[in-house]
Chains A and B, each alone.
Chain A
Amino acid sequence: MKQMTRAVLLCAALTAAACTNGNRFGSDSGFNDSGVGVDGINADPSSPVYFQQTVGDRVFFTVDQHVLTDEAKFVLSSQANWLLTNADYLAVVEGHADEQGTREYNLALGARRANAVMEYLIAQGVPRERLKFVSYGKERPVEVCSEEACYSKNRRAVTIISAGLGL
């Protein structure tokens, strides 16, 4: 729990916009070495801030699905590269669902999503022992409206990185 708490605090320390940013698939997304995040925050490419803002910490899913879209695979390939470059970090993949579903089912659905992300990262070469996944079902929405505009942002898997034993 220590690792997760740290990551959550890190997220909280950034602006709310940075944590829920929908613009991460723009021109600044992908693996680059500018060291500047999308919000202009100077960030070391090996920092969690860089991972979160520049690499992109989350991918989105369609209704009731856990299949990775091409867009998601692009982000996850960048995540895998980052994790391979920064081998001291561990990651927990958090799976989420929108509110349109029953509680238990959404927990299981979030697990499917998080697991799909984790397996993709493993397939890209990230060692399994550095990864874990957890589902929050519909318990932790980032957007609060009851419309597809919000649901599409809540159906997500977020890769939360934390310092491993080496740091």
Chain B
Amino acid sequence: MKVFASLLIGLWAAIAALPVLAQNGPLRIEITEGVVEPLPYAVPDFVAENAGAAQFAEELSRIIAEDLTGTGLFREVPKAAHISRVTSFSSPIQFADWKAINAQALITGAVRTESGGRLVVKFRVYDVFAGTELGKGLQFAGNVDGIRRMAHKVADAVYSRITGEGGYFDSRVVYVSESGPKNDRKKRLAIMDYDGANVKFLTGSEAIVLAPRFSPNGDRVLYTSYESGFPQIFVLDVGSVRSRVLRAGDGSMSFAPRFSPNGQTVIFSLTRGSNTDIYAMEVASGQMRRLTDGPGIDTAPSFSPRGDQIVFESDRSGSQQLYIMPATGGEARRISFGKGRYGTPVWSPRGDLIAFTKQAGGRFHIGVMRTDGSEERLLTASFLDEGPTWAPNGRVIMFTRETQGATGSASLYTVDISGRNLKRVRTPGGGSDPSWGPLQ
């Protein structure tokens, strides 16, 4: 943990003395493909329970609001409109005051500092119109430098209680940080919080690095580096920030790696002669198995969440298209039949969708389709969008968008799988090839 500030968040602890209302009330967002009206909520500044905590009280509520409002599913009722002041975590809630400003959900919280630079954060969520608490009050502790994570955990709990789905705020993204002009681009691996905060570099910019991919539990990152002069796959241990080459070099190119859902197998592309095929390697033994065998370009493989199938792209039909084959290789069935070219498929965490890059009519799109190729929907369109990665809950996709022309540069964007809420991720400098890690 040299690079990352160590962050010890205690186990989630239910506040025993609080009333428990486990069932979800009428306050509920059903996330559907249709347009939703964002749910209005209020999150007053957290109550500082001691003098040292004052500086954190506003920050917590601000980060929680950024998370929730950032989904496009929630709308914050500005603090200036609040009638009630929450001055004590245990005071009764004046529901009428929150109803009057049409805040349907209310999040209250408190923070105190403890010795050793620790923060203790607790919060409650209320269904204002039902006049009840939504779920249990929770508290947890962490180091001061983990304040953003604690806020993300609160926001995840609120999101999850109101939508009935898992959150994604307390997660990290590994990506390629980019700087410099287009014909001398410097690329470094970097890791950040999902919202672009806390960027840390994992490699230098001496060699080109491409397409990092998190392991399922976030402990390792696969990436491709030109360190040896030839693209080779490396495995980086996130804790120690040390990397090793996955496969001893024989001068052939290997790239496009991804882990299996159990983290024990890596699938990737290997180029021999003019032919690029997909292989699987057991990480522990180094044992390799060839999964595709044909003269076409077979690349960008991605496992199904159950690990029994692999989606990949191939130009065996004459142009880039998506195929699914058993995880052991064998006959592949084509799933993309629309106009244009399809690449970079990624299986959703829920298993129901494949995200992809589509090129058609001189434009690039991020899209999703069902695993049988039906119900294709394009979510974005631009000069160059590519390389989708799924949020842990399968509701949001992050991808690379590159702008046109001599001064073009790459940035990270997110979009909801409904196609709404397209946003740029606020990274310092350019970014490409994101890989969204698990909820921490």
A residues within 8 Å of B by Cβ? 1, 4, 66, 92, 99-105, 107-109, 111-112, 115-116, 119, 132, 134-136, 139-146
Contact = CB atoms under 8 A, between A and B. Distances in A.
Interface string B328-343: 0000000000000001
Interface stretch (B137-145, B193-201, B259-267, B379-387): B379-387
B108 interface: no
Given A103-B210, A115-B274, A134 B300 contact: no
Given A99-B384, A103-B386, A105-B297, A144 B182 contact: yes
Contacts of A145: 405-406
Interface in B306-351: 313, 315, 320, 343-344
Nearest to A116: B274
Nearest to A2: B229
Nearest to B402: A99
Contacts of A136: 208, 226
B136 to A, nearest CB: 45
B65 interface: no
Interface of B: 181-183, 185, 187, 208, 210-211, 226-231, 251, 253, 255-256, 269, 271, 273-274, 276, 297, 299-300, 313, 315, 320, 343-344, 357, 359, 383-384, 386-387, 402, 404-406, 408, 433
The 6 closest A-B pairs by CB, nearest first: A108-B276, A102-B343, A115-B274, A108-B297, A1-B229, A144-B406
Contacts of B406: 144-146
A140 B273 CA distance: 21
24 contacts: A4-B229, A66-B274, A101-B359, A102-B359, A102-B386, A103-B386, A103-B433, A104-B256, A104-B313, A107-B210, A107-B253, A108-B269, A108-B297, A111-B271, A115-B274, A119-B274, A134-B230, A134-B253, A141-B182, A144-B182, A144-B405, A144-B406, A145-B405, A146-B408
A92 B253 CA distance: 13
Contacts of A112: 274, 297
B299 A108 contact: yes
B255 A107 contact: yes
A141 B404 contact: no
A105 B271 contact: no
Contacts of A105: 297, 299-300, 313, 315, 320, 343
Nearest to B185: A139
Contact of B357 (A1, A100, A102): A102
Secondary structure of the A side of the interface?
mixed
A139 B230 CA distance: 13
A141 B300 CA distance: 22
Given A108-B271, A108-B276, A111-B253, A102 B383 contact: no
A115 B402 CA distance: 29
Contact of A104 (B187, B344, B383): B344
Contacts of B404: 146
Contacts of A132: 251
A109 B269 CA distance: 13
Contacts of A139: 185, 187, 208, 210
Contact of A102 (B229, B255, B300): B300
A26 to B, nearest CB: 24
A136 B187 CA distance: 13
B187 to A, nearest CB: 8
A32 B383 CA distance: 44
B295 to A, nearest CB: 10
Contacts of B251: 132
A119 B275 CA distance: 13
B274 A104 contact: no
A104 B208 CA distance: 14
A106 B179 CA distance: 21
Nearest to B271: A111
Nearest to B315: A105
Given A103-B210, A105-B343, A146 B383 contact: yes
B302 to A, nearest CB: 11
A20 to B, nearest CB: 9
B387 A102 contact: yes
Contacts of A99: 384, 402
Contacts of B271: 107-108, 111, 135
- From B271, B383, B387, B433, residue with most partner A Cβ within 10 Å: B271
A142 B183 contact: yes
Nearest to A101: B359
Contacts of A102: 300, 313, 320, 343-344, 357, 359, 386-387
A103 B193 CA distance: 24
